[in-house]
Amino acid sequence: MIQLTQEQKDAVKKWVGAGDSLSEIQKKIREEFKIPVTFIDVRFLVLDLGLSIKEKTDAAPRSVDLSKPPAAPAPAEAALEEEDAGAAPGGVTVELDRVMKPGALASGSARFSDGQTAQWSLDQFGRLGLSSAKPGYRPSQEDLQAFQQELARILQSRGF
């Protein structure tokens, strides 16, 4: 456990109050106090001080309309606005889970042009799994191709 002076503890309280994340606080302790500290040490410090980190909320899950051809690369904000628009009837939408399923590198859901939904997951070996609540369901070849293209685009934009 790291030992901080009262002034340093007050600074940490101020950072937490300002909405800094644990990783931001860790970086500030290293840079401003010249104290090497691990992420878990920062987490314990925040708990010991009786503070709680404010979660930065994201918008609702994003979906993308695959019934239209892909547009030219746009700035990140424009791409996010397009994703928020949703899908037109008959299109394929792909969503990324905020919390990944156990054992999955990435997971989410997809809605195909026939209205069927399926859960997908990608493991650490790059194997893609797709499961539907309807036994024996198989999306059309066009839907599968659109799903794979959109999934690749979403994962690439998230740094996978």
**Residues sharing a CB contact under 8 Å with residue 39, sequence separation 6 or more, in sequence order:** 22, 23, 26
Beta bridge partners of 111: 93, 117
Instruction: Determine how many CB atoms are found less than 10 A away from the CB of residue 77.
Output: 8
Please name which of 70, 12, 86, 10 lies closest in space to residue 44, comparing C-alpha atoms.
12
Instruction: Determine how many CB atoms are found less than 10 A away from the CB of residue 43.
Output: 14
Ranges of the chain whose pLDDT falls below 70: 1, 55-90
Give the pLDDT of residue 61. 56
Let me know if 7 is exposed, middle or buried by CB neighbors in 10 A (0-12, 13-18, 19+).
exposed
Give the pLDDT of residue 65. 61
Kindly report the pTM of this predicted structure. Answer: 0.44
